[in-house]
Amino acid sequence: MSGKVAKIAVSAATYWIDRPYDYLIPEDMAEKAIPGVRVHVPFARGNRQSEGLILAVSPRSEYEKLKCITAVLDEAPVLSPEQIKLALFMRERFFCTVYDAVKAMLPAGLWFDEDGRRRVSDKTVETAHLSVSAEDAAAAAENKRHRSPQQANILELLCGFEALPSRELLRHTGASRQSLKALCKAGLVELRQREAYRRPKAYEGELLPLPVLSEEQEKAFRGISALAESGKAGAALLFGVTGSGKTSVYIHLIQRQLALGRSSILLVPEIALTPQMLQTFSAHFGEEIAVLHSSLSVGERYDEWKRVRRGRARVVIGTRSAVFAPVEKLGLIIIDEEQEETYKSESSPRYHARDIAKYLCAKAGCTLLLGSATPDIVSRYCAQTGRYAFFSIDNRYNQMRLPQVRIVDMKRELRRGNGGNISSFLRQEIQENIDRGEQSILFINRRGANKLISCGECGYTYKCPRCSVALTYHSVNDRLICHYCAYSRRLDSSCPDCGGMLNRVGAGTQLVEEELKELFPETEIMRMDTDSVSPAGSHEQLFEKFRNENIPIMVGTQMVTKGLNFENVTLVGVISADQSLYSGDYRAGERTFSLITQVIGRSGRGSKPGRAVIQTYTPENETILQAARQDYEAFYHSELALRKLQQAPPFSDYLAVTASGPDEAQTVRACRFIRSRLEEGASGREMTVYGPTPLPVVRVNNRYRYRVNISCRVCAEIRQLISQTVVEASLDKRFRGVSVFADNDPTD
């Protein structure tokens, strides 16, 4: 068929029918319907209107009959040609649709509601401008001095400015809106609408000089700068002990890129860290900073995205999705705490920010810098084998020693009659800190009060009716809650089965907080977990309160383990160090080592020496001993030897195909079908397929979840085989109601 044809990714297309669809471009839309623009198109047999994105425009199509585009939604492309290529790369690499990738790349404010209106509009501010020269305005003000003093005040103030927001103008002069309108009617003043940006709170003082680097920091900075300025794509790992000042190196590297006319992206693992990073970096770079994360309002995130796209902000700070920021002249991407699992998306597209960053750096010919005190084992292996450049900072910036660590055997505490969660040694250390006016952080990686409630007589436990997990007791609202589907119910006064006494098993942040209040009744205690920081931005307020009001004790989950810098914190306590050791995942040891090492590193970051207490029921465990010594290299070598025996990453790649459905037997049958197809396709390849295996929580929201695991060296042919298998299983009528998806190195 002749005529102008658009190749379109359609949002209504599921993974198994996802491909570019040909649509005819009407003549009256020819100028607007260009690549990167979103459109409305009729889709499928019912011609239901669906959103789509134009990927390319062609002069002809191989099909004779084509449907027409019904509407063009954007005045200008929302994706550049490079970003369209990235979306296509994501489809192949992460087993998602092109439109899933597009949605991950664009801010929510750009999307449309059911009525076809954009979710958020551009913010405008009314400004007042002189319509005459300043001399004429001053003369008019003198003439109006006695008859209309408010009008005279407005004119006099505007004589000193090119333009002023009308609201501020009226506030400063005390004039009324009627006086301003009268001046407009007289032709002396003109009102215009100016676009304004909704911005998160940032540093507002004078810009600070760059921090002074130590000898080790300077050496790392020079080496990474040389790599970044080579004009070639590359990756580097910056290994620095906690408190070594990696952030100062980042600041110098970003400044160097700005001097060269290039942009930078800095990723952080937690939203809680973003305000702190924003304050730190905006103090040096001012308006060059843009911040992107999910706690911003829809309008703020949309406006920050616009500032980046227009080149008004050349330094982007944010969480995982900030890697998609539309920066110009990209020179450097930094991923801080690169080992964190939060960089991996758990919903489609199931991408890892590190993989996206590698792609962007390869295309732009720039450098990816991974920074951590506990690098991912695979990243460290890449540095060891020469795939990444390697730089290290072995000492803390202020020359302070790493915290002294004491391991407490909780079995001995039990034998001494202490059945609580705070050992006698930790209690004594906390009391000493309180007496000296110093602060303490206690870490336990579970929120709520108790892991479960059980009957001591019949063994009854409260379980979620929709998920295969026990309900967690939350003492704040006296309810049992499922942390997977949010089901909740009241706690009974006695066992609902036999009437026996209910026992509380396990501990969470709420229970530890209650114990601390009993031990230190006159001391203020702060709790940091997702229950206490649910309102957007409240984590920033709590951290500021902890710092500014010198609150003696903070107890929290993972959000207190990374990146935080409180100079008066001299004691850290790890309440249950064994908790993450026995999850059955090959990364269990790595997660445990990283968590303990990171939280210990929060202590002694100022002028005062730090201490740490690790409470454990397995004090002889090698991982805990290595974390206590802050000995990453010893841990790395022992973990690498174990990975080699398991043929786990970095010696092999892991992929998984997961099936979930309301019927367990049907879900298992689907997984068996998937395994058989993969084994058939793997003939002649070094690929191991095993399963079906249930996920750690097999049932969530009344859907059973099973998985087929694949161990191999991934290549394009393997990905194609997995993709075809997902499509076959999804289209097989025997498995109707079962959803199937593939994932690279799943985290659960």
pLDDT above 60 for 575: yes
- The domain 2-106 is placed in CATH, from the list 2.40.50.140, 3.40.1440.60, 1.10.3720.10, 3.20.20.150, at 3.40.1440.60
The DSSP call for residue 173 is H
What mean pLDDT do residues 377-401 have? 91
Q: Determine contact, residues 351/325, Cβ cutoff 8 Å.
A: no
Q: Determine contact, residues 196/125, Cβ cutoff 8 Å.
A: yes
- What would the two tokens of residue 426 be? 């930790």
User: 57-95 burial string, b = 16+ CB within 10 Å, else e?
Assistant: beeebeeeebeebeebbbeebbbeeebbebbebbbebbb
What mean pLDDT do residues 337-354 have? 94
Q: Where are the domains of the chain?
A: 2-106, 124-195, 215-393, 404-449+507-643, 454-497, 653-744
CATH class as words, domain 215-393? alpha beta
Question: What would the pLDDT profile of 611-624 be if each residue is shown by its tens digit?
Answer: 999 999 999 999 99
Q: If pLDDT is split at 50, 70 and 90, which confidence band does 450 have?
A: low
What local confidence, expressed as pLDDT, does residue 427 receive?
Answer: 96
What local confidence, expressed as pLDDT, does residue 423 receive?
Answer: 94
Cis before 59 (ω within 30): no
β-strands 330-336, 439-443 pairing? unpaired
β-strands 389-393, 234-240 pairing? parallel
d(CA 555, CA 430): 12
Higher-confidence residue of 114 and 89: namely: 89
Q: If pLDDT is split at 50, 70 and 90, which confidence band does 449 have?
A: low
Who contacts 148 (Cβ-Cβ below 8 Å, separation ≥6)?
Answer: 179, 182
Question: What would the pLDDT profile of 317-327 be if each residue is shown by its tens digit?
Answer: 999 999 999 99
pLDDT above 90 for 583: no
Q: If pLDDT is split at 50, 70 and 90, which confidence band does 3 have?
A: low
What local confidence, expressed as pLDDT, does residue 563 receive?
Answer: 66
Angle among Cα 495, 497, 498 to the nearest 5 degrees reads 75
Of 56-60, 162-166, 707-711, minimum mean pLDDT range: 162-166
What mean pLDDT do residues 152-180 have? 89
d(CA 742, CA 722): 7
What local confidence, expressed as pLDDT, does residue 466 receive?
Answer: 95
Question: What would the pLDDT profile of 521-540 be if each residue is shown by its tens digit?
Answer: 999 999 888 776 664 456 77
What local confidence, expressed as pLDDT, does residue 271 receive?
Answer: 78
pLDDT above 70 for 467: yes
What local confidence, expressed as pLDDT, does residue 1 receive?
Answer: 47
Residue 56 three-state SS: strand
β-strands 48-60, 2-10 pairing? antiparallel
d(CA 150, CA 559): 54
What local confidence, expressed as pLDDT, does residue 537 receive?
Answer: 52
Of 1-5, 296-300, 341-345, 514-518, minimum mean pLDDT range: 1-5
**H or E segment and range at residue 680:** helix 664-681
d(CA 316, CA 288): 8
d(CA 291, CA 674): 42
Amino acid at 69: I
Higher-confidence residue of 566 and 325: namely: 325
When the pLDDT of each residue in the chain is averaged and rounded to a whole number, the result is: 91
Q: Determine contact, residues 429/422, Cβ cutoff 8 Å.
A: no
What local confidence, expressed as pLDDT, does residue 60 receive?
Answer: 87
d(CA 711, CA 686): 9
Give the residue among 69, 81, 15 at the shortest CA–CA distance from 42. 69
pLDDT above 50 for 104: yes
d(CA 641, CA 32): 58
What local confidence, expressed as pLDDT, does residue 509 receive?
Answer: 86
Say whether 404-449+507-643 and 2-106 share the same fold.
no
Question: What would the pLDDT profile of 478-504 be if each residue is shown by its tens digit?
Answer: 889 998 999 999 999 899 988 888 888
Compute and round to an integer the Cα radius of gyration of the chain: 30
Q: If pLDDT is split at 50, 70 and 90, which confidence band does 219 have?
A: very high
Q: If pLDDT is split at 50, 70 and 90, which confidence band does 447 have?
A: confident
Residue 607: exposed, middle, or buried by beta-carbon count in 10 A (0-12, 13-18, 19+)?
exposed
CATH number of 653-744: 3.30.70.600
Give the residue among 517, 585, 89, 107 at the shortest CA–CA distance from 304. 107
Domain 404-449+507-643 homologous superfamily, CATH = P-loop containing nucleotide triphosphate hydrolases (3.40.50.300)
Sheet holding 367-372, edge to edge: 289-292, 315-318, 263-267, 330-336, 367-372, 234-240, 389-393
Give the residue among 361, 242, 285, 314 at the shortest CA–CA distance from 632. 242
What local confidence, expressed as pLDDT, does residue 115 receive?
Answer: 67
